[in-house]
Structure 1
Amino acid sequence: MTALQDLLAFQTETEALGQIAGRLGWDQETMMPRGAAAQRGDEMAAIESVLHARRTDPRIGDWLAACDGETLSQVDAAKLRHIRRSYDRSCKVPGDLAAELARVTSVSQGAWAEARERDDFAAFAPVLARVVALRQQEGQALADGGSTYDALLQDYEPGASAAQLEAMFGEMRPRLVDLRGKVLEKPTPKGLAGTFGEAEQLALASKLALTFGYDLSRGRIDKAVHPFSSGSGSDVRITTRTSPTDPFNCFYSTIHEVGHACYEQNIDAGFALTPLGQGVSMGVHESQSRIYENQLGRSRAFTGWLSARMQEVFGDLGLPDAEAFYAAVNRVQKDFIRTEADELQYNLHIMLRFDLERALISGDLPVADLEGAWNDRFRADFGYEVPKPSLGCLQDVHWSIGLFGYFATYSLGNVYAGCLAEALRRDVPDLDAALAEGNTVPATAWLGEKVQRHGGLYEPRETITLACGQAPNAGPLLDYIETKFSDLYDL
């Protein structure tokens, strides 16, 4: 075998082991008995030790050196780019630190869920402080004297920097805040009335998943405290959650996670268990989940179809017509939860988290002061008080599992989605007619062809640029939001 063949065969086994680790994480959030948390932490640490040893195996360096100068196909060159990036980064992180991070974040996840349930941030703070300290160590090892936060950010959006994201947020904030002020002066549209059974919600959620192209022969839907998608290739699982008074929480969480899952399911099958066999970045991943959820799922055309399906299941919804239903789906109101936020206010939630997590990683914000800092910032940004931690700094799972640098990719995904939606409507002018019939195929097929099938073949921004015909920028997203909500609120 050639050096390239040896390297790729070795990498296939590493990718397979990574999928097994991901399955352990899925089980922890869905099926695992609560009492197994400590043991699962040890299991996660053990498999991370094996993975870290493989990712830093000296033979990888030898194989990469032997491949230098060879004539490579575009696909093989892309595979080597990912392997080299992973090898260089992994070699900077001590193996015992990688294992300890896996163990602590596994245990921390359970501690977060219990603290959230009890609204007790003080009980969780020492665990979170340990996670932050470990991620600081990792970031410092990766940064080589540069920005610790930027080093961590590369795990989620290669090539991005805090300075770039800060500039993007600086462009977005004034227009969003101005529009929000105008909208909140208007009457709030009526919401749904009544209660909605869990079994019925989950049944309709499954129908929505199928409507958006999720292949249940290679996936499954379960419940979790915080909805997520897990896996790639032939085993891609999602979770959702239910609320007896807010079925939109279930339905749009499901559509969102289906966007992630379809990205993974639609990657070129030849890329399976290679570095190209997963989404290229979290920003691009979020572009798929957000365009499925918002530009498609919350569109006037699709909500007309969804309104009829909900009436078939639940009967009277307390709304007079499809237009009132559309307004209810998209209503802007005072709330606390990021995952339930409307498109207008969502990115303001991300900006809050972006600033706070940078302060945590830099050491400017001690973990013990996080709850107060969150509440102060929320009051300044949104104008009202956070009543309890589960509606504030304990609402998201991300920091408990060490995902510092992740939050900004949600807004980056929104920006990418805005660019993709503009290009989609240009290429598929009769899109609304299809969505009004519950037919998402013209949209999902376009996304499959333009974005999803490529997996990690291109770099993140390159993926969006090739799909849209121009480099991504915040303009299309901001224009879309202003047009949509100006129409909804008669501004």
Structure 2
Amino acid sequence: MSAYKDLMAFQRDTEALGQIAGRLGWDQETVMPVGATPQRAEEHGAMANVLHARRIDPRVGEWLEKAEAADEVAAANLREIRRSYERTAKVPATLAAELAKTTSLAHRIWAQARADEDVAAFLPILEKVVDLRKQEAAAIAGNDDPYDALLQDYEPGATAAGLSAIFDALRPRLVALRAAILDKPAPAALWGTFDEAAQLALSEKLALTFGYDVQHGRIDKAVHPFMSGSGLDVRITTRTEAHDPFNCFYSTIHEVGHATYEQGIDAAYLLTPLGSGASMGVHESQSRIYENQLGRSRAFTGWLYGQMRDAFGDFGIADEEGFYATVNRVHDGFIRTEADEVQYNLHVLLRFDLERALMAGDLVVGDLEAAWNDRFKADFGFAVDKPSNGLLQDVHWSEGLFGYFPTYSLGNVYAGCLYAALRAALPDLDDDLAKGDTTRAISWLRENLQRHGGLRMPVETIEHATGSTPTEAPLLDYLEAKFGDIYGL
């Protein structure tokens, strides 16, 4: 046990340094002065060098050879440390540092290009990010698929072929459902101007309603909402739009889903490889089930309707049923994060296909905007009107997160499976949600999934929680039933 004990002591410091690196990113996206970007890039590069060196320290290899697992927790820790050690050893330290520095710079360039609607200003740094990530993927993959190598950063065990099979099964029923819905009269849209301070106040109430522990977190504003941290320091951001308070409310609920997952992990796993979520797909299952299956349910929106009337007075929606339809209104739109449940995955599949083509060398960065616009027109039936509604809308590629996008749709699939199991366990859940009470729902998720952190591989995590292998069927069945009811299909 000495080797295992020494390894875990060393790993604890590595995990702590990783959290510090993450805090640099949070600061950059929330309160960092614009002029600090070049220095922050150097800081990111320095942290990447330190972490890379620790992850391939020769002592880690020696401890891994000698360590024995006394239980399933130790076995899982060894599995994750070994996976990190073997992967990191394949990537030159200079490349890891260059990636960290370049993506730090690229983030700020992307934010300015987005504000200026200037794709040309972003493409040179994006081309460098893509090149660096392709080098990294090639170093890790060897003779295997480079894109599969990148996927392992976000969804261990996943392959592009496996994800494609799930997505190919999703697309036909989603497209058919969308066509049927768009042939029907649309519910009323929200109208008016909604005070920002009132939005943020109700947003904070929603965060508390969904179990966010503000003693170990905080809520700030950002261009692109996100969650950062784990354990005792888990932070979220949201954003406001004067004419669309749903953007603020559901961004907050979504990020709280991520945050309460991290806050709900067994305290014994703090600063260990098991002390964060099992994968980004599993993480997304939490944010999406909070946001959609719970937060956009008929029962919960009935409660939210009263909260909005208290906050804003009469805002043009006559009753709870009309509000439920408005919240779930299927509508044309450019923005993935604002998309309705029916069309959301189509936004993700577009990105999945484009980034696979980039990594395979079948698409060059200079042609990316045209490829995006052509695919969007083909999938959604109307043209992108400006770059911030197209190629520049998402932060992910500026940060080098190739392989991340498919986990959003995978998270929806997982959420569909979890919701079916949750409903079977709590058949009277609507009684709670109608009172704005998510306690039993969150407790079920915490007990069956969240508290286990990274103990199991992603698919095994969902299987443990639901008792069955995840498939796309529960999600599709849920969507067809819900929107069939709203639209009278």
Whole-angstrom CA distance in 2 between matches of 1:138 and 1:154: 12
Aligned length: 489
Aligned twin of 1:161: 159
1:323 Cα deviation after fit: 0.6
Aligned twin of 1:142: 140
1:276 Cα deviation after fit: 0.4
Alpha-carbon spacing, 1:199–1:52, altered in 2? closer, same or farther (3 Å): same
Q: 1:426 aligns with which of 416, 424, 427?
A: 424
Aligned twin of 2:237: 239
Q: 2:169 aligns with which of 171, 179, 184?
A: 171
Aligned twin of 1:45: 45
Q: 1:73 aligns with which of 41, 56, 71?
A: 71
Matches within 5 A, 1:390-405: 390-405=388-403
Match of 1:384, SS state, is: coil
Matches within 5 A, 1:235-274: 235-274=233-272
Match of 1:470, SS state, is: coil
Query: Are 2:8 and 1:12 equivalent residues in the alignment?
Result: no
Q: TM-score, normalised by structure 1?
A: 0.99
Matches within 5 A, 1:302-451: 302-451=300-449
1:186 Cα deviation after fit: 1.0
Q: 2:471 aligns with which of 470, 473, 477?
A: 473
Aligned twin of 1:27: 27
Paired amino acid for 2:294:
L
Whole-angstrom CA distance in 2 between matches of 1:276 and 1:362: 32
Match of 1:242, SS state, is: coil
CA RMSD of superposed structures (Å): 0.6
Q: TM-score, normalised by structure 2?
A: 0.99
Aligned twin of 2:90: 92
Whole-angstrom CA distance in 1 between matches of 2:185 and 2:366: 39
Matches within 5 A, 1:141-220: 141-220=139-218
Aligned twin of 1:227: 225
Match of 2:283, SS state, is: helix
Deviations 1:427-475 (A, max 9, x none): 0011001000000001000000000000000110001001001000000
Aligned twin of 1:121: 119
Whole-angstrom CA distance in 2 between matches of 1:83 and 1:193: 51
Whole-angstrom CA distance in 1 between matches of 2:69 and 2:406: 37
1:144 Cα deviation after fit: 1.2
Deviations 1:123-154 (A, max 9, x none): 10001000000000000000011101000000
1:71 Cα deviation after fit: 4.8
Whole-angstrom CA distance in 2 between matches of 1:64 and 1:165: 32
Whole-angstrom CA distance in 2 between matches of 1:370 and 1:347: 20
Whole-angstrom CA distance in 1 between matches of 2:69 and 2:358: 45
Whole-angstrom CA distance in 2 between matches of 1:93 and 1:203: 45
Paired amino acid for 1:399:
W
Paired amino acid for 2:408:
Y
Alpha-carbon spacing, 1:131–1:255, altered in 2? closer, same or farther (3 Å): same
Paired amino acid for 1:441:
T
Match of 1:209, SS state, is: helix
Deviations 1:355-386 (A, max 9, x none): 00001111111101111000000000000000
Whole-angstrom CA distance in 1 between matches of 2:9 and 2:319: 58
Whole-angstrom CA distance in 1 between matches of 2:56 and 2:64: 12
Match of 1:122, SS state, is: helix
Deviations 1:22-43 (A, max 9, x none): 0000000000001111110000
Whole-angstrom CA distance in 1 between matches of 2:109 and 2:352: 23
Aligned twin of 1:483: 481
Aligned twin of 2:2: 2
Deviations 1:56-82 (A, max 9, x none): 101100000011xx3521111110000
Alpha-carbon spacing, 1:71–1:451, altered in 2? closer, same or farther (3 Å): closer
Aligned twin of 2:460: 462
Aligned twin of 1:58: 58
Whole-angstrom CA distance in 2 between matches of 1:112 and 1:193: 31
Paired amino acid for 1:8:
M
Whole-angstrom CA distance in 1 between matches of 2:28 and 2:143: 36
Whole-angstrom CA distance in 2 between matches of 1:191 and 1:164: 38
Whole-angstrom CA distance in 1 between matches of 2:77 and 2:323: 47
Whole-angstrom CA distance in 1 between matches of 2:234 and 2:361: 37
Match of 1:236, SS state, is: strand
Whole-angstrom CA distance in 2 between matches of 1:338 and 1:115: 19
Deviations 1:253-273 (A, max 9, x none): 000000000000000001000
Runs of 5+ in structure 2 lacking a partner? none
Whole-angstrom CA distance in 2 between matches of 1:194 and 1:171: 39
Paired amino acid for 1:324:
G
Paired amino acid for 1:30:
T
